[in-house]
Copies of this chain bind each other. A is one copy, B any other.
Amino acid sequence: MSYRVQVRVMPRGGLLDPQGQAVEHALSALGFPDASAVRVGRAIELEVAAESRREAEARVRQMCDKLLANPVTEDYLLEVGES
């Protein structure tokens, strides 16, 4: 069976996010001073062949730990759907 997994990889809470700050300044300059606390990360979508939703999630966690996220500076969140 095939599962569609959405991953969000974000800079960890306490850490500085220079890209987010740059976007926040640009938004303010473009007339959006109502935006704050902007953080920028990566969104990754993939299909995973697995026997169950649980196995698909476990596989994608391994992928995040090995390649998709930096465990020192980033956190990730998964959403597993059917494809």
Contacts and interface: CB of A to CB of B under 8 A. Distances in A.
A65 B34 CA distance: 16
Q: How large is the interface on A (under 10, 10 to 19, 20 to 34, 35 or more residues)?
A: 20 to 34
Interface string A13-31: 0000000100110110010
Q: Count the copies.
A: 2
A32 B68 CA distance: 12
A34 B35 CA distance: 39
Given A40-B43, A42-B40, A34 B59 contact: yes
A6 B23 CA distance: 14
A10 interface: yes
Interface of A: 6, 8-10, 20, 23-24, 26-27, 30, 32, 34-50, 59, 62-63, 66-68
